[in-house]
Structure 1
């Protein structure tokens, strides 16, 4: 447990450093991609390579720790897979990524993050956490699951609006409207933050808390950058929208 606890503290510390760094310099992918960051590859392939470890590594956890597999653990893994199968395979195959590139350093760093995160989440679920069947009827699980599902819906619906916008108006960046886009510039990020807030509540674990902290450390600066970039580069972009959290930020 000491090694695991130390990993949690170190990983949280790194997230704080990442948060501060990302406030000043956006990660070099998407609209911020730059050739100066080194070799690149197809965005679609890169996305699948860097996100898919969350699927097969968690399945390996299930295989090696099958003796710890109960009803609650199975449901946690199903919830995990709902998000990550979509994120790793469905989204990159649907998104308009033709001709787009992602630098290898971004792919590598994202893959490392996912490897560490699967270790943290999987270790809690199968080794250090302990859940009886009654946990599924607890207010923590029920509320957490509801928050997760609301976040998942917001995330996917927001992405669908962006995809439809590019189908209608071509590649590039346009002004999305409707749904939560009338309130914030990055409702897809807001949805993902809600998902992992829900995960933290339903698992009530230090692992879930660390993941939530990392999600916010990554997505809040990204939303800030996207919002400011859109105001500066897209004519007529609404300046009164919040960045990522409706009515707050």
Structure 2
């Protein structure tokens, strides 16, 4: 079996694992944030855990850039810049801004996310630097333009929603409060909705099977979690709007 055949076979298996995760998360809440049990044995500070688990997405692509910089063109370089635009914010800026003091993260959750990011960045980079065939003209192709618009729109929704949550926690004191405005008018987790949109855009602008599988993984992970958050909020936060959908406006 050739390297390319092995790569596609692993991608198929990786997508199947995402389906299993999707099903499991509908029956068992991921132990993080509000769903972390007080009796959890192995934890670490949330800020440190977040930076550790997301860091492979930044440093992995930088390593591949260093290894292949003499053989890649402007398109591959630009794809890396788009990736880093998201992950520098996600890995360093968000956890440093978020109100995480005193909060804990399960070591198991961090370890699984760390493993996922190592596998994911490897798959993305193998396509971008080795198997994918990009020309300079790809950057002006209709699919790329549509993809980057969708990606940036999703990133805007994600960051704006996170900002609303951060400001709510700063002004509202301890505990959970009802977020209002922007996409919170429609769903309980617009930050998750924005991230799903982002990676759908990435799958288009990179025209990558690895990018599409990442979109599948993002959806499989965030849709059940959004459902759990929505149900928890309606049960535990007074006056929480009962008609808010979980993640997709007007649909789910």
Identify the residue that residue 14 of structure 1 maps to in structure 2: 17
Identify the residue that residue 155 of structure 1 maps to in structure 2: 158
Distance in 2 (CA, whole Å) between partners of 1:68 and 1:197 is 27
Q: Which of 159, 169, 193 matches 2:196? A: 193
Establish whether residue 179 from structure 1 lines up as the match of residue 182 from structure 2. yes
8 Å CA contact 1:155–1:188 kept in 2: the answer is: yes
Q: Once superposed, which parts of structure 1, at least 4 consecutive aligned residues long, lie more than 6 Å away?
A: none
TM-score (norm 2): 0.97
Identify the residue that residue 26 of structure 1 maps to in structure 2: 29
Distance in 2 (CA, whole Å) between partners of 1:87 and 1:99 is 20
Aligned CA-pair RMSD: 0.9
Matches within 5 A, 1:37-116: 37-116=40-119
What SS does structure 1 have at the residue aligned with 2:188?
coil
Instruction: Number of aligned residue pairs: give it.
Output: 249
Identify the residue that residue 165 of structure 1 maps to in structure 2: 168
Identify the residue that residue 121 of structure 1 maps to in structure 2: 124
Q: CA deviation at 1:38?
A: 3.1
Q: Which of 225, 247, 251 matches 1:248? A: 251
Unaligned runs of 5+ in 1: none
Distance in 1 (CA, whole Å) between partners of 2:182 and 2:215 is 24
Deviations 1:126-166 (A, max 9, x none): 00001101111111100000000000000000000000001
Deviations 1:154-211 (A, max 9, x none): 0000000000001111132110000000011000000000100100111112111100
